[in-house]
Structure 1
Amino acid sequence: MRLMSFDYGTKRIGIAISDPLQIIATALTTIHPEKIGDFLKDYLQKESVETFIVGKPLQMDGTPSESTQHIVGFIRKLKKDFPTIPVVEVDERFTSKMASNVIAQSSLKSTKRREKGLVDAISATLILQTYMEGKSY
């Protein structure tokens, strides 16, 4: 079964997915928060997801950031709409910066590198990769 991660934002949610063996994390898409419920219902009809992993935004000192309240609401909705799928939170500090660095160093055309959704999808991939690496030992 797959793992699915989210980099939640009020304008976009980056989504990444693992392969069925939970070895490789891949950016899936970026979606508007209002459309996430329908997207997940459709996706879960085709694929099995074992766990949802949600990036938890923290300050440098480990305290919740201003956007934490939005994440709490998103997690509550995931648990209500998909009660059989556990939700795990993962520290997402530095993922957006790391994603921006990955994009800057890539061979993508400059117009593609400027797409804001790309950062969110790669951030979700980094969140998922962090979770899988922590789980592997």
Structure 2
Amino acid sequence: MRIMAFDYGTKRIGIAVTDPMQIIATSLTTVHPEKIWDFLMTYLEQEDVETFVVGKPLQMDGTASESAQYVVGFVRRLKRTHPAINVVEIDERFTSKMASNVIAQSGMKKGKRQQKGLIDTVSATIILQTYLETRIQ
């Protein structure tokens, strides 16, 4: 069974998944928030997912950021529409900055590096990798 992670944004949701053995986190895609529920329905018909990991937007002092209200609604609906799948929230501070650094160091051509969705999927992958590492400890 896979683990799926989300970097929720009001314009795009970055999505990453593990392999079935839950060892490797891989970026999957970005989806517009209005299309996420159809995307999930289709994906879950083809793949088994045991856990959803959602990046929780926090400020430096640990309080909820402005965008946290959207994530709260997203998490609530995830739990309601997929009650059999565990939902875990994980601190996503610095993931966008880390994603930008990873992309900059990747050797990718500038045009590809500047695609907005790329940061979202890499951020989701970092969120998922962080979750996998915390499970091991």
TM-score (norm 1): 0.99
Q: Hey, what's the Cα distance between the residues in 1 that align with 2:48 and 2:109? A: 34
Gap runs ≥5 in structure 2: none
Q: Hey, what's the Cα distance between the residues in 1 that align with 2:120 and 2:6? A: 9
Q: Deviations over 1:92-118 (max 9, x none)?
A: 000000000011111211110000000
Alignment of 1:15-54 (within 5 A): 15-54=15-54
Q: What is the one-letter code of the residue matched to 2:40?
A: L
Alignment of 1:5-20 (within 5 A): 5-20=5-20
Q: Hey, what's the Cα distance between the residues in 2 that align with 1:93 and 1:21? A: 27
Q: Does 1:68 align with 2:82?
A: no
Share of identical aligned residues, percent? 70
SS at match of 1:14: strand
Q: Deviations over 1:28-63 (max 9, x none)?
A: 000100000000000001100000000001010111
Q: Deviations over 1:2-53 (max 9, x none)?
A: 0000000000000000011111000000010000000000000110000000
Partner of 1:89: 89
TM-score (norm 2): 0.99
CA RMSD of aligned residues (A): 0.6
Q: Deviations over 1:52-76 (max 9, x none)?
A: 0000010101111111100000001
- Aligned residue-pair number: 137
Q: What is the one-letter code of the residue matched to 2:73?
A: G
